[in-house]
A and B are shown apart, each in its own frame.
Chain A
Amino acid sequence: MSNYYPAEIVGTAVLGDSGVRQIVFRSPSIASTCSPGQFVNIACGGEHSSHILRRPISIAGADRESGCVDIRFDIKGAGTAWMAELKTGELLDVIGPLGKGYPVEPGKKCLVVGGGTGIYSVLFLAKVLGAGCKALLGFRNSSLINSISDFESYGCGLSIITDDGSSGRKGFVTELVAEELDRGGIDTVYACGPMGMLKAVNDIVGGRAEYYVSLEERMGCGVGACMACVCHTLVGYKRVCADGPVFNAVEVCFK
């Protein structure tokens, strides 16, 4: 069941040089029911806003005890630019948690793979999996690297790669995935990032592990009613917002 009422913002931050914004808001009902891979849908622009569509943002973390929910996002347009100006104490018009998250089985050895803004959805997953997973993160360059200390604090292994080699190794996250899988012993791979990355990882996994992907698509209602955000699957179109955003990769038709 989704909740819908204003949530008080209890903290905001800009994450290093990356320009990525963080908002932590208090919503005990969302914090106590959400799971990694789910998202919230945020109204932008305040009262009399000309922004009709909510912005779907994946949940980067939640704490049941404090009732706090953590979201992180890039400024991509007018809506997220407006969100970036919000201050502690202001109210966030938020619906959630929405969608189906990552299926987690205890005792499995996992890789969580994140590219770009996809790292926030797998950050929450890394928190739940802890030492049971290794996080493999790809960034375009060193200035965009963020949230690393959070991954470290969850006790998971961590490898970082940049497209231009400006920090750590040069290359794409897919190389890290290939190396880890070649070592063997991986049961499940979870990934969130650009479609090209998800498809490349799919080719690398090639049935050697369970593979779950979190897909992104422009959304309308966010609750499964309008059929705007569909993806191709083996059984036809499915709704990213309601049937996903997390899908078992075996059912996804990668373009």
Chain B
Amino acid sequence: MNEHVKKDIIKGVDLSVNICGVNLRNPVITASGTCGCGEEYAPWYSAAELGAISVKAVTLEPREGNEVPRICETPSGILNAIGLQNKGVRHFVEHDLPRLKSEGAVVIVNLAGRQVSDYAETASIIDGTDADMIELNISCPNVHKGGMAFGTDKNMAAELVSEIRRCTSKPLIVKLTPNVTDITEIALAVETAGADAISLINTLLGMRIDIRTRRPMLANITGGLSGPAVFPVALRMVWQVKNKVKIPVIGMGGISTGEDAVEMMLAGADAIMVGTAMFADPLAPIRIRDGIADYCAINGLPAARELTGGVIIG
């Protein structure tokens, strides 16, 4: 192994994983939309300590996002409808990406769009940078054009992925929505179209009403549910997808402890993402990393990657 490759060895356990040729020092990635571009969590840890950071979605042009309220709490979860607010890909490439790369972070650029052409143009811009991977967001439930529309139709998903495949030689992760009848259909379609990895799940579409005012809790009316409430759904979908595709799978959805991360890897995840858990505990990614190491050490596993797909069925 290249001695310059970073790998975390904690309690004698090798935590490093390899996702489409990119080495991650540990399997813990912060999920897009929950950690900005890493800056806000700098008081607690550097993005370079993570396996990778998946940055807040970037779009070709700046986006204002939705009206407030954009968030509300639900039992063991949250509903959000931010609406992809961001300053546009050029701002990201000029300001955020150089800082993250100089810190030594592995950077996954989450990329969103309204139609194939602006997804493609954004991907081409990212292709010319030193970003490590692209995560194609075809699963945002909170925008009215693009987003989840691509992720709920296997033909549209495949068409978009093959177009983006032509725009970039960077490893291409496709982030799937759980708001479909059969997620394995979409997973197979994007794999065939050229995806290098799959990440799942984005949020589950939900809604709450304030019974005192009889108004929806969110200005957008509906929003995406995340947090521990969705963990069993996410785990089931990761397991289903892993059984159908050959490419790496990054599992997310409600992971808040090291035990959850282990469970997600046993279901088939090659790496995991942590999002909502950071709102309750900013140190969640570090705690989860250490929890994975604890489990492996106690169970005599020399490397965390050996967890992947380790569920015993039958």
Interface residues, chain A, with chain B CB atoms under 8 Å away: 1-2, 4, 43, 49-54, 79, 95, 217-231, 236-237, 242
Contacts and interface: CB of A to CB of B under 8 A. Distances in A.
A230 B70 contact: yes
Interface in B31-82: 33-36, 39-41, 43-44, 56, 64-65, 68-73, 75-78, 80, 82
Nearest to B69: A218
24 contacts: A1-B43, A2-B43, A4-B44, A43-B281, A50-B228, A52-B78, A53-B280, A95-B282, A217-B68, A218-B72, A220-B71, A220-B80, A221-B34, A221-B279, A224-B36, A225-B35, A226-B33, A227-B56, A227-B82, A229-B68, A229-B71, A230-B68, A231-B68, A236-B64
Interface in B1-49: 33-36, 39-41, 43-44
Given A218-B69, A218-B72, A229-B68, A223 B282 contact: yes
Given A226-B33, A230-B65, A236-B64, A54 B280 contact: yes
B278 A221 contact: yes
Contacts of B73: 51-53, 79
Given A218-B71, A242-B40, 4 more contacts: A219-B71, A221-B279, A223-B40, A229-B71
B236 to A, nearest CB: 21
B209 interface: no
B213 to A, nearest CB: 14
Interface in B87-134: none
Q: Which of A1, A49, A230 has the most CB of B within 10 A?
A: A230
B280 A225 contact: no
B280 A230 contact: no
Contacts of A51: 73
Secondary structure of the B contact surface, majority rule: loop
A52 B280 CA distance: 6
Interface residues of B, number: 34
A230 B68 CA distance: 7
B44 A237 contact: no
Given A220-B78, A225-B35, A230-B65, A54 B279 contact: yes
Given A220-B78, A221-B40, A230 B282 contact: no
A225 B41 contact: yes
A217 B69 contact: yes
A50 B44 CA distance: 23
Contacts of B85: 227, 230, 237
A221 B277 CA distance: 10
Nearest to A242: B40
B288 to A, nearest CB: 16
Contact of A226 (B43, B68, B82, B228): B82
Contacts of A227: 33, 36, 56, 65, 70, 82, 85
A1 B39 CA distance: 12
Which of A221, A222, A237 lies at the interface centre, i.e. has the most chain B CB atoms within 10 A of its CB? A221
B80 A4 contact: no
B282 A52 contact: no
